[in-house]
Structure formats: structure tokens, C-alpha cells
């Protein structure tokens, strides 16, 4: 009975491979839809933080002239938008719109005694423009927040008394400064408002504010703080739904900030409510604004090309320069990174982008896509079942059946979990199955005696590319499983990067150690478990542990690299256009090719294939970065293969020379 069951499972592999092929074929149209989506949204927008410019101007002799000059320079450099925060009383003071006093200061100025039981804020308007535009704004805001407001005059200047302490009054956010907004619009800048969730949501106020934004050409909002507008009151008021409908009515989208520590609360919900009218933004921090011009430029160019970034946010701050005993700023540095010598905007345009207001992706969703994805799901389950069957042959059929049932259940309960779990298991299975078949092929060819060097090289190259093609079978399946704009916008992410970085190598190691002669035997496992642990083994385990930790530290978007490697990466990027992964073409692919070449003669050379598996999983891993365009990932993988092949052939040549030298001189050394 056991033998019959095993035979049925072995026969089932053929049908599983057929399902894999069908799944890959069905996934290709889904991948084409994603390519169509990626071909949209070609505008790149540069946004400068206007508040930073005001902060810097405070240290200038003529602040208004300084602001006007820098705005003209930024506009000429290619910065097309200005970010405006919600106004505060402190910001109006810096902009010379108002003068602010507390009770004691008013008593000193007027010579009148202020009641010791009053701790109010006094606002004096500095000119008629402020009276016309800023006074109504302050009155509306504080009245809406339940703070009493009454008129006040000082030296014939109009003012207001706000019945709240100054320390509290300066915290209250108001709509952006209308005088500043008009000035920036007159200079040709688009406006990107930054809204906070620090005050209660008021639908009537938001209707008025969003309509005002729309009238001033606002196309996208950026949120300030750890939550989006309306999140705090959503449970009681369903404010996110109301806010989303308001944004849709005026065709105003959202901005997703890349690599923030925690996603802004409510952003994913609001993105869904606005039908993912979202653009991704990279923020250059105040500290990074002082980096070398070429470094800043490279960041902008790479982010737009490699990570679907369509907005760049420029920050700046005043800096103390002790060498010149003065206050400086990074404005020249930022402008030079965009123009000459950095040439960021020129390089971005040469990559096929246009400088303008960022647009959301226009999602291509063909009518047959859901059916193609269903077939791709079956193909993915078949590939996972194949991987399991190569380790435990009698589980091929059960693995496939359980995979179908489990996936169907997850699809009903948590469809996004089903997609992510299958994508991770598929990305592991592809390289693992490919490596297992490569090891089997090597074992079968070891029975051929006296294979010539030329044949070994040819066999190694052919098997290298066959293995890579089998590994890449996982790629269309993963793309189909994760073909959703939420992954392109990094609102959802591929889960299990570290597991993908280790599992195929670990499974390849298990197969090399236990399955070289066919299926793992009980005796072989027991023999391995009974092997004495020596000091050498402990040291080797420690070394492998350190190497593994270093390897994982470099894995994923948060991986750390040295300054030397960063320079090398920039050199590759600027020389080739698309940077291949160093670990692929400098290490894994050459070792894979050398390992295959040597394995046809030396049995233990197969251990090199464990390292070679790193290259196979890395190729697949590149395509799990869904926010990177398919075109870029494809070119990166192909470049890695070609360069890795060249370096691998050099390694084989060097080995042959070393082997000949050893054969010639080793007899003499024994004498």
C-alpha cells in the first residue's frame, strides 16, 4: 500500500509541473496589466517646505527680500510646488503679519493693570492686509474651537483678545496663510497643503477649506503628524468616509511618505476611499540637505526610476557655521543638486519623466484578470507541492489538496493574507526546486568518467541557465499574486524578506547533505545526529552565524552598506544605467558556475551550490519589491547574470591554472 501511494505521488509530479506551466502562462497577462499601470504617472514633482524658508529668513537682515530671492531661484531650478502647513500664531509672527503679547507685556506697554485672574493672549495686526485676511481666519478658528474672541486696539492698530493662555493659543492650527498662498500662486508655484489631525473634525469647515484648496489648484494633500485628518473622530463621526468623499468631489489626492517609522493612522483607509489617488513621496531631511550635491542628485534620480517615487520633499534649516561665525543655510546645495553640477532634473527627464504635478497610477485591470489570477494561484500551489515532494515524496498529492483547501479558506477570511502567504512560499519554492534539480543533474553526470574540461564548462553554463529559468518560474506567479496598486504604493508589502533570504539556501544545504544519493535514509539521518561535535564544528558554527547575521543585515530596504560600497553602487549606476546586485554578480553567480563545473568531477564541490542558491533566490527576491518597475527588475537581473557568468568563467580559468600548478608541483613537495 505504501509503495503504491508513493508511486502515485511520484506520478503526480508530472501533473503538478503541467499546472505550474499553466499558472505561469496565466500569470503573464496579469504581469502585462501591471506593466500598463507602471507606464502611467510619469510626472515628477519637487516640493519645498515654505515654513523652512521662513525659519531661515529670520536670521537674514532683510527677511522678505531673502524669501523672494530664494523663491525665484527655486522656481528656476525646477521646484514647482510649495508645502504650506496649517498656520499658527507663531508663524504669523515670523511672517510679520501680527505681533503677539501676553497679559504682562500688555500691562507694561499700556501702563494699565491687567486682572491677575486673566491669562489671555493679545494679537495686534501689523498692516491692513493682515486685518483683511488674517483677522477673520483667527476669529473663525478660535470661535470654532470654543475660545472666546473679542476686539482690542493698541496704538490705533486693530487687534484681538483670545481668552486662552498664549502657550495654548500658539498651538492651535488654522488654515494656511491666504496672503502667502496668493503670493506663491502669483509666482507660479502649486500648493501642497499639510493638514494635521490635532483638532476635532468639523465637516462644514472642511467643506469650505477643501473647496478653497480646489479653487487654488491644489491636487494633493500631505498629512502632518502620525494620523490623517479625521482619524481621531472616525469611530464617532465616520469622519474618514466624509473626508474621503469630499476629496473625491474636488479630485484631490493623497501623498504617501516613504520610509516613515510608522504608517500614518487611517492613511490606508483614506487611500481606499479615494480609489488610491495616491503618489509616493521621498523626503530629504534637513540633515541630508547638506550632503554632497552628487549624493542628493543620485537619491532623486534612483528613487524616481527604481521606486516609483513621484514627489520629492525638500527640507532646509538654518545652520551655525563656527568657522565663519555666521548663520548659513543649505539652499545653494539643494539648488545645485537639481541643476548643475548635480543635474538631478536633467537626469530624471532623460529617464523619460516630466517635471510637473504628480499624478496617481491609472490601474489597468482587464476583465479576465481575476480568472488568470485564479489559475496562477493553482500554479503557485503546485510549485509549492513540488518542492515538498522532493523532500517527502509521498506528500505531493496531500500538499496540493491541503494547499487548495487552505487557500480557499484564507481567500474567504483574509484574501490579502492568502496572497502574501502564497507569494512567500512560491518565491522560496522556485529557487529551491531549481537547485534540487541542478544537484540531481550533477549527480547523474558524475557517472560519466573523464569528462573533458570543455564539456564540463559547457554543461556548467547550460545547467546554470536552466536552473535560473526554473527559478524565474516563480516570478510571474508572485507578480500575479501581488498585482495590486496597494503594493506599488507600499501600503501593503511582501512579507518574509528574511525568510526568503535564508530558506532556499538552507533547503539546498539539507538536500546536499542528506539527499545526494536519492531520498534521505533513516540511517543517514541517525548517522548525522550521532556525529561527535568537535571544537572545529563549534567554531565553524560561530563563523557561519556571524556571516548569516551580516548577510541578513544587508537584506531588504533597511539593509546597511558601507560608504565604499555606496560609492561602488553609484559607479555601477552611473556607468551601466541600472545597478545589478553585488551579491549576485560578484559572489553567488560565479560560485554557482564554478560549483557546477567542479561538481562534474569532484563530489564535494556540490557544497558550493549552497552559496550559489543565494543568487537564485536574489533574482526572485528582486521581483518581490513590487514598488520597483518590472522593467528595472528585469534589467537588473539580466545584468547580474551576464556579469556573474563572465566572472564565473574567469574563476573557472583561474581554477584550471591553479589545478595544473598543483599537479605539477605537488609530487615535488611530497619528496
Owner of C-alpha cell 559547457 = 458
20 pLDDT more than 90: yes
Beta bridge pairs of residue 571: none
Q: Rounded distance, CA 432 to CA 387, Å?
A: 7
CA distance to 68, 131, 134, per residue, from 137 (Å)? 24, 10, 5
pLDDT score recorded for residue 448:
60
- Cβ atoms of 377 and 8 closer than 8 Å: no
CA distances from 424 to 388, 496, 632 (A): 15, 6, 21
Write the CA distances from 432 to 294, 387, 459, 529, 618, integer angstroms. Answer: 40, 7, 20, 24, 12
Q: Where are the beta strands (DSSP E) in 318-414?
A: 319-321, 326-328, 354-355
| Confidence check: pLDDT of 518 > 60 | no
CA atoms within 13 A on the CB side of 9: 23
Residue 338's nearest CA partner among 160, 80, 95 is 80
Separation between Cα atoms, residue 348 and residue 628, nearest integer Å: 16
DSSP string, 354-371: EESS---------TTHHH
Which three cell numbers, joined as nine digits, stand for 654? Answer: 583561474
Lowest mean pLDDT among 51-60, 67-76, 110-119: 110-119
Helix (H/G/I), strand (E/B), else coil: 328: strand
Q: Is the pLDDT of residue 532 over 90?
A: no
Instruction: Give CA–CA dist 455/462, Å, rounded.
Output: 10
- Nearest-CA neighbor of 152 among 185, 204, 184, 109? 109
Whether 55 and 377 have beta carbons less than 8 Å apart is answered as no
Q: Which is more confidently placed, 562 or 442?
A: 442
Under 8 Å between Cβ of 359 and 43:
yes
For 326, list phi and psi in degrees, rounded to 5: -150, 170
pLDDT one-digit tens code per residue, 356-405: 999 999 999 888 999 999 999 999 999 999 999 999 988 888 999 999 99
pLDDT at 523: 55
Phi, psi torsion values for 104, nearest 5 degrees? -65, -40
pLDDT (average), residues 122-133: 92
20 neighbors 379 (Cβ within 8 angstroms): yes
Q: Which residue, among 397, 423, 396, has the nearest Cα to 23 in the 3D structure?
A: 423
The DSSP result for 69-120, as a single string, is: HHHHHHHHHT--EEEEEPB-HHHHHHTTSEEEEEHHHHHHHH-PPPPTT---
Please state the domain extents for the chain.
Answer: 2-39+364-670, 43-86+175-355, 88-174
d(CA 86, CA 205): 14
Q: Is 259 helix (H, G, I), strand (E, B) or coil?
A: coil
Let me know how many helices (H) and strands (E) the chain has, helices first. 30, 14
Greater model confidence, 553 or 372: 372
253 pairs with which residues across the strands? 220
Cα separation of 241 and 234, whole Å?
8
What confidence tens digit (pLDDT) does each residue in 230-277 have?
Answer: 999 999 999 999 999 999 999 999 999 998 888 899 999 999 999 999
Which residue bears the cell 520633499? 313
C-alpha cell of residue 594: 564554478
Q: What is the pLDDT of residues 559-591, one digit of tens each?
A: 455 556 556 666 666 666 678 888 888 899 999
Record the cell numbers describing residue 105, joined without a space.
507685556
Indicate if the pLDDT at residue 354 is higher than 80: yes
Grid coordinates belonging to 267: 492613511
Which pLDDT does position 525 carry in this prediction? 57
Of residues 304 and 1, more confidence is placed in 304
Tell me: pLDDT of 530 over 70: no
pLDDT of residue 113: 72
Task: Please tell me the distance from the alpha carbon of residue 135 to that of residue 340, in angstroms, as a whole number.
Answer: 43
Average pLDDT over residues 292-300: 93
pLDDT at 521 over 60: no
Higher confidence at residue 53 or residue 514?
A: 53
Q: What is the pLDDT of residue 558?
A: 47
C-beta of residue 372 within 8 angstroms of C-beta of residue 480: yes
Which CATH architecture describes the domain 43-86+175-355? Answer: Alpha-Beta Barrel (3.20)
Instruction: Please tell me the pTM assigned to this model.
Output: 0.88
Task: Please report which confidence band the pLDDT of residue 134 belongs to, taking 50, 70 and 90 as the band edges.
Answer: very high
Residue among 357, 335, 358, 355 at smallest CA distance from 347: 355
3-state secondary structure of 550: helix
Cell digits of residue 570: 553609484
Question: Between residues 109 and 559, which one has the greater pLDDT?
Answer: 109
Percent of the chain with pLDDT over 70: 89
CA of residue 261 relative to chain centroid, distance: 12
Residue 119: exposure state from Cβ atoms within 10 A (0-12, 13-18, ≥19): middle
Residue with more model confidence, 111 or 593: 593
Of residues 448 and 54, more confidence is placed in 54
Q: Which helix (H) or strand (E) holds 50?
A: helix 50-57
Average pLDDT on 327-339 reads 94
Distance of CA 586 to the CA centre of its chain: 25
Backbone angles phi, psi at 373, to 5 degrees: -65, -35
C-alpha cell recorded at residue 502: 535564508
Query: CB neighbours (10 Å) of residue 30?
Result: 25
- Distance, in Å, from the CA atom of 563 to the CA atom of 506, rounded to the nearest integer, reads 30
Q: Three cell numbers at 407?
A: 487557500
Q: Rounded to an integer, what distance in angstroms lies between the CA atom of residue 619 and that of residue 622? A: 5
> Cα-flanking dihedrals φ and ψ of residue 287, to 5°?
-65, -45
Give the DSSP letter string of 273-287: HTTT-EEEEEEE-TT
How many CB atoms neighbour CB 301 within 10 A? 23
Rounded to whole angstroms, the Cα distance separating 245 from 241 reads 6
657-665: long-range contacts at Cβ-Cβ below 8 A with a sequence spacing of 24 or more? none
| Mean pLDDT over the full length of the chain | 88
State the angle between helix axes of 497-514 and 608-622 in degrees (0 to 180), rounded to the nearest 10.
150
Amino acid at each position: 500500500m505504501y509503495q503504491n501511494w508513493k508511486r502515485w505521488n511520484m506520478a503526480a509530479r508530472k501533473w503538478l509541473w503541467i499546472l505550474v506551466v499553466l499558472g505561469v502562462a496565466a500569470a503573464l497577462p496579469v504581469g502585462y496589466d501591471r506593466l500598463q499601470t507602471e507606464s502611467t504617472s510619469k510626472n515628477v514633482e519637487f516640493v519645498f517646505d515654505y515654513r523652512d524658508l521662513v525659519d531661515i529668513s529670520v536670521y537674514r537682515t532683510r527677511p522678505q527680500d531673502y524669501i523672494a530671492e530664494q523663491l525665484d531661484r527655486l522656481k528656476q531650478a525646477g521646484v514647482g510646488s510649495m508645502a504650506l502647513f496649517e498656520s499658527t500664531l507663531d508663524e504669523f509672527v515670523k511672517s510679520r503679519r501680527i505681533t503677539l503679547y501676553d497679559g504682562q507685556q500688555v500691562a507694561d506697554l499700556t501702563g494699565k493693570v491687567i486682572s491677575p485672574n486673566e491669562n489671555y493672549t493679545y494679537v495686534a495686526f501689523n498692516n491692513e492686509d493682515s486685518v483683511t485676511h488674517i483677522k477673520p481666519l483667527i476669529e473663525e478658528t478660535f470661535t470654532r474651537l470654543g475660545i472666546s474672541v473679542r476686539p482690542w486696539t493698541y496704538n490705533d492698530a486693530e487687534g484681538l483678545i483670545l481668552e486662552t493662555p498664549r502657550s495654548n493659543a500658539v498651538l492651535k492650527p488654522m488654515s494656511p496663510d491666504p496672503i502667502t498662498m496668493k503670493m506663491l500662486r502669483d509666482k507660479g508655484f502649486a500648493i501642497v497643503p499639510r493638514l494635521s489631525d490635532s483638532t476635532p473634525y468639523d465637516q462644514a469647515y472642511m467643506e469650505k477649506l477643501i473647496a478653497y484648496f480646489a479653487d487654488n489648484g491644489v491636487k494633493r494633500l500631505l498629512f502632518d503628524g502620525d494620523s490623517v485628518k479625521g482619524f481621531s473622530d472616525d469611530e464617532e463621526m465616520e469622519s474618514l468616509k466624509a473626508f474621503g468623499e469630499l476629496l473625491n468631489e474636488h479630485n484631490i489626492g493623497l501623498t504617501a511618505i516613504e520610509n516613515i517609522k510608522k504608517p500614518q493612522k487611517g492613511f490606508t483607509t483614506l487611500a481606499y476611499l479615494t480609489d488610491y489617488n495616491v503618489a509616493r513621496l521621498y523626503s530629504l531631511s534637513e540633515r541630508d540637505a547638506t550632503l554632497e550635491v552628487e549624493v542628493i542628485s543620485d537619491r532623486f534620480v534612483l528613487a524616481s526610476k527604481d521606486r516609483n517615487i513621484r514627489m520629492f520633499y525638500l527640507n532646509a534649516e538654518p545652520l551655525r557655521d563656527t568657522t565663519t561665525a555666521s548663520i548659513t543655510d543649505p539652499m545653494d546645495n539643494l539648488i545645485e543638486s537639481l541643476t548643475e553640477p548635480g543635474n538631478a532634473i536633467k537626469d530624471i527627464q532623460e529617464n523619460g519623466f516630466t517635471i510637473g504635478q504628480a499624478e496617481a497610477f491609472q490601474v489597468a485591470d482587464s476583465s479576465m484578470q481575476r480568472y488568470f489570477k485564479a489559475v496562477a494561484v493553482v500554479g503557485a500551489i503546485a510549485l509549492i507541492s513540488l518542492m515538498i515532494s522532493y523532500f517527502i515524496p509521498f506528500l505531493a498529492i496531500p500538499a496540493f489538496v491541503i494547499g487548495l483547501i487552505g487557500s480557499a479558506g484564507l481567500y474567504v477570511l483574509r484574501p490579502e493574507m492568502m496572497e502574501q502567504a502564497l507569494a512567500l512560499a512560491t518565491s522560496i519554492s522556485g529557487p529551491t526546486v531549481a537547485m534540487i534539480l541542478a544537484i540531481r543533474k550533477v549527480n547523474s553526470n558524475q557517472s560519466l568518467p573523464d569528462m573533458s574540461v570543455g564539456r564540463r564548462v559547457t554543461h556548467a553554463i547550460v545547467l546554470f541557465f536552466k536552473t535560473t529559468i526554473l527559478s524565474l518560474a516563480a516570478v510571474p506567479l508572485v507578480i500575479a499574486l501581488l498585482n495590486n496598486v496597494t503594493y506599488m504604493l507600499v501600503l501593503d508589502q511582501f512579507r518574509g524578506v528574511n525568510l526568503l533570504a535564508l530558506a532556499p539556501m538552507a533547503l539546498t544545504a539539507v538536500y546536499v547533505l542528506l539527499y545526494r544519493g536519492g531520498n534521505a535514509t533513516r540511517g543517514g539521518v541517525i548517522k548525522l545526529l550521532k556525529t561527535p561535535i568537535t571544537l572545529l564544528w563549534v567554531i565553524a558554527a560561530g563563523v557561519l552565524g556571524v556571516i548569516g547575521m551580516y548577510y541578513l543585515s544587508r537584506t531588504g530596504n533597511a539593509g546597511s552598506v558601507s560608504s565604499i560600497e555606496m560609492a561602488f553602487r553609484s559607479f555601477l549606476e552611473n556607468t551601466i544605467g541600472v545597478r545589478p546586485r553585488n551579491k549576485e554578480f560578484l559572489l553567488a553567480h560565479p560560485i554557482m558556475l564554478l560549483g557546477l563545473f567542479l561538481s562534474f568531477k569532484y563530489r564535494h564541490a556540490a557544497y558550493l551550490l549552497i552559496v550559489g542558491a543565494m543568487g537564485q533566490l536574489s533574482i526572485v527576491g528582486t521581483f518581490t519589491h513590487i514598488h520597483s518597475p518590472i522593467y528595472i527588475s528585469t534589467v537588473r537581473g539580466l545584468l547580474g547574470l551576464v556579469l556573474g557568468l563572465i566572472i564565473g568563467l574567469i574563476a573557472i580559468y583561474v581554477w584550471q591554472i591553479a589545478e595544473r600548478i598543483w599537479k605539477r608541483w605537488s609530487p615535488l613537495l611530497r619528496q
